[in-house]
């Protein structure tokens, strides 16, 4: 989970101020944490006031699924405080993470409008549905959903999206899949979805993108926000490019 410190602090504050210890333990259990550990961090001061701040921060720091945590927090506060907390948290998410929450409390990226990335997202999803590329569509939607909350997970899912798109294009043409990934990418030249050109073979470019996705999505080394943004935007554009080529080939 790659939440910004300010987001963590806000969620912990909401948990501590709006819930009893029993309710806080339920939030923790919803995200897979031990209620006894949560209770052990709570204490009463000499004036008999219960302090749950450490218990709340423990939940925020140790919840592995950020989406599940956010939904558990909103379930706990109920409708009375929902609109206020949603507005405040969304403002922090937009300012610190360059993302936003949708109506289902999923955190999704806000990308530069001049790149028209959001238009490409809509186009890609629509075309994958039209082509019946169900595996690619599932991988793609998961990659979009996890971006900005789990960079490495999203890049790994983009790699799976790339792989399944190549496979489903080949299968749609009735050809058997070749052995390794590069051989499968080469198969796309059979229908000029990728072209062999003199100076910069499109197959090699495709394989380089796949190699970057494999490196940053699979290896244990961390990925920076700049690296994730570069890979996300460039891969999204390349997937859009392949779908365009496939559609144009189908309509000829």
CATH code, domain carrying 155: 1.20.120
Instruction: From 94, 109, 124, give the residue that closes a domain.
Output: 109
Per-residue model confidence as pLDDT tens for the chain (252 residues): 345 678 888 999 999 999 999 999 999 999 999 999 999 999 998 888 889 999 999 999 998 888 888 889 999 888 778 888 988 888 888 777 767 787 788 777 665 544 455 555 677 888 899 999 999 999 998 888 887 678 888 899 999 999 999 999 999 999 999 888 989 999 999 999 998 776 658 888 898 899 999 988 887 777 887 788 788 888 888 898 899 899 887 665
Same domain, 105 and 133: no
Same domain, 72 and 130: no
Same domain, 181 and 199: yes
> Cα torsion at 133, 139, 144, 150 (round to 10°)?
-170
Express each pLDDT in 202-241 by its tens digit: 888 898 899 999 988 887 777 887 788 788 888 888 898 8
Same domain, 95 and 165: no
Same domain, 91 and 139: no
pLDDT of residue 121: 61
Distance CA 138, CA 157 (A): 10
Express each pLDDT in 85-96 by its tens digit: 988 888 888 777
Same domain, 91 and 135: no
For residue 210, the enclosing domain spans: 113-251
Instruction: From 86, 109, 132, give the residue that closes a domain.
Output: 109
Structure tokens of 6? Answer: 């300010």
Same domain, 131 and 105: no
Same domain, 126 and 235: yes
Helix (H, G, I), strand (E, B) or coil at 180: coil
Same domain, 237 and 117: yes
Quote the number of domains for the chain: 2
Instruction: From 69, 91, 109, give the residue that closes a domain.
Output: 109
Same domain, 215 and 124: yes
Alpha helices in the chain (DSSP H): 5-18, 21-30, 35-40, 53-62, 66-97, 117-131, 134-146, 151-172, 181-187, 202-218, 225-251
Same domain, 25 and 100: yes
Same domain, 160 and 56: no
């Amino acid at each position: 989970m790659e939440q910004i410190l300010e987001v963590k602090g806000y969620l912990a504050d909401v948990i501590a101020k709006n819930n009893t210890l029993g309710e806080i333990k339920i939030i923790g259990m919803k995200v897979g944490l031990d209620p006894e550990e949560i209770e052990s961090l709570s204490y009463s001061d000499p004036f008999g006031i219960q302090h749950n701040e450490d218990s709340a921060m423990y939940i925020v720091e140790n919840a592995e699924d950020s989406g599940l945590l956010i939904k558990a927090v909103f379930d706990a506060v109920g409708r009375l405080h929902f609109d206020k907390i949603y507005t405040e948290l969304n403002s922090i998410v937009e300012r610190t993470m360059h993302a936003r929450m949708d109506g289902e409390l999923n955190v999704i990226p806000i990308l530069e409008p001049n790149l028209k990335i959001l238009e490409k997202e809509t186009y890609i999803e629509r075309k994958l549905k039209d082509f019946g590329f169900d595996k690619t569509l599932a991988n793609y939607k998961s990659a979009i959903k996890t971006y900005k909350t789990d960079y490495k997970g999203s890049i790994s899912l983009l790699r799976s999206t790339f792989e399944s798109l190549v496979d489903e294009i080949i299968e749609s043409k009735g050809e058997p899949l070749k052995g390794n990934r590069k051989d499968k990418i080469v198969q796309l030249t059979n229908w000029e979805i990728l072209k062999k050109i003199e100076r910069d073979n499109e197959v090699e470019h495709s394989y380089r993108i796949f190699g970057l996705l494999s490196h940053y999505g699979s290896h244990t080394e961390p990925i920076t926000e700049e690296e994730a943004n570069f890979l996300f935007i460039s891969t999204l554009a390349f997937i859009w490019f392949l779908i365009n080529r496939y559609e144009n080939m189908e309509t000829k």
